[in-house]
Structure 1
Amino acid sequence: MKQSTRLSSAVFQLTPTRTRCDLIIIANDKKEKIASGLLNPFLAHLKTAQDQIAKGGYSILLEPETGSDATWFTKATLERFVRFVSTPEILERVYTIETEILQIEEAMAMQRRNDIGQSIVENHQIRPQGGSEGDKSVPHANEEKAIVLYTPGAPAPEANGSRLQEGNSKVQLLKVLDTRKAVLQKEQGMAFARAVAAGFDIDHMEALVSFAECFGAMRLMEACSRFMDLWNSKHETGQWLDIEASGALSNQSDFTAMNASCTILSDTPNKRDISNHMASDNNGKSCSTNNAGMIKSF
C-alpha cells in the first residue's frame, strides 16, 4: 500500500487479554498491518480509543466522519502517529530546548538590568567634592541627594578590589550563559534535523493536526502546533535553513526505510518478538532497536 493511499478506516485488533493489539489499516477492501504491541501507549494518546475501550469489545475503530473530506487520513499519517507514540521526544525535543534557551536569555537580561541598576546607585552614592566654606553652608540640591546616611551595624563599603572581583564574576557568568545558549541552539538545530529525518517535516504537520483533532490526540496536536510556530519563527531569522537543506536527503532515505517496516511497541522483548526478529533475519531484512528499547522495526 502506498504512503499516499487514502484510508477508509484503521482498526486496533486487541488480544483476548486486551493488553496488546495489532494496528491494521484498510483501504479499497485491502488490509495491512503497520504496528503491533502494547495497547496502553495508544490509549494514552487517543481519546477516541479510551472512549471505545471503556465500552468493552476487542477492537477500536478509527474512522473519519462520514462525508468529510479527510484527505489527511493516509497510511503515511498513521505511520507518523505510531512513530510519535513510540518516541514523542523526537518532535517535542525541539520545543523543550527552546524553553531552556528562553530561560537563559531572561537570566542574561536580568543580570544586565541588575548591573545597570547597581551602577546608577553607586553613582548617586558618590559625594561630590565641596568648594569653599561658603559653598558648604548652602548645599546644592544635587549634593543633598548624594548624602548617604550612616546606619549603625551596616557593613563597611567594599574595597575597590572586592568590587572588581565581583564585576569579573558577573562577566564570567554572562559568558557561561552565552556559551550554554550557543550549545543549545546547535543542539536544537540537530533536534530539528532528526525530527525532519523521522518524517515530521513542516509539510506534513497539517495532516497530523487534522488527525489529532479528529481522534483526540491532544499531545500530538500540541507538539505539532509548537513545532510549526518554532519553524516559522526560526525561518524568519534564517535559522535551520542550512540544517533543513542538508537533512533533506537523509530524510528521504530514512523515512523510506521506516515506511517499509512494521513497528512493534513493547516494554520488554518476549518470545513472540524474538521469533519475529529471527524470521525477519531469515528473510534478509534488518532489525533495529531505539535507545529506549521500546521500538523494534523489522
Structure 2
Amino acid sequence: MGKFLLILLIFFIIIFSGQLIFNKFISTNVSFGVTFSQKYATELNLDWKKVYLSILDDLKVKNLRIPTYWDVDDLSQVDFMLDEAKKREAKVILTLGIKQPRWPECHIPKDIKSLPVGERQRLALEYIEKVILRYRDRSEIAYWQVENEPTLDFFGHNCDRFDEEFLKKEVELVRDLSDKPIMITDSGELGAWETPMKLSDIFGISVYRKVYNPTLGYASYPLLPYFYNIKSKLAGNKKTFIAELQAEPWFYNNFAVGTETAEQVKLFSPEEFRENVNFAKQTGFSEIYLWGVEWWYFMKEQGQPEYWDFAKTLFN
C-alpha cells in the first residue's frame, strides 16, 4: 500500500511539474472575444440590441462569434450585428448550420423537424448557401464556423446522430462559395478532435470547468490547462483556440430566469469567473472566446455588476 501511494505521489508531482514547465514557454499575449446570441438575450427578457451595443461600446469587444439561427430566419438581425461590428472595426466568426450556440443546440424550423433526415439536410444546405451568398463579401467576417460541436451528438434537443458525410458536404459547400477560412469546434473535454480538426482550417474547443449531470450533480473536470494544448498537438496540431470558455453557470434546469439571483451567484461566483480566465490563459492558446456575456448583462440588471465589470478589464 505504501509503495502504491509513493507511485501515486510521484505521478502527481510529474503531472503538476509539467504544467509549471509549460507555463515558462507559453505566450501571455491573449486576445479575448465573446459569443453573442440574440435569441438567448431575448430569453433573459433583455433588449438584445441594447445588450449587443453595450458589448461593443461598454465592454469594447473586438472579437465576436455570432449565430445565424435557421429557425429564426430573420437575417435582418444578423445584418444589424454585422453592421455595428463593422462600424467599430470588430471581427466576427459567423456560425452556419443546424447546430449552433445556445440551447436547444439544434435550431431547426418547426415545419422542417418532422421531415426525413435527408430532406432536412438538403434544406439546411440551402440555408447555408443563402447565408454565405448574403455575407461572403463582408470584410468584418473573419471565419465561417460550420456547425457547433457537431460530433457531440448526445448533447442537445432534436439533434440527429453525428453524420460525418453531411459535415463534409457542408464544408465543401462553404469552400465552393467563399475563400474565407473555415472553423469547426469540438468539446475540449469529451471530443476526440480528429475529424473536425482534419476538415477545418482553424479549430475551436469549448472549455468547461463545472458541469451538471442529473445523476452526479455538479462536478469539475480534473484536468490541468496544458492538457488541452498537448491534446491539440496529438490530434493534428492545427491552429487551435478556445471558442467557448465557461463564464456563466451551468443551470441544472437550463434557465436563468426564475432562478434566484443568490443561487446564480452560488452556482458561478465572480471568483470562479476569474479562475476560469486564469486557467484558460495557461492553456497556451492565444485566443479565448468567453461564453456568458448575455448573462453578465442580466446579472448587472439584477444588481450584480461584478461579472460585467471584471470582463471590462479583459477587453479594455
TM-score by length of 1: 0.23
Structure that is richer in helix per residue: 1
Structure that is richer in strand per residue: 2
Larger-gyration structure (1/2): 1
TM-score by length of 2: 0.22
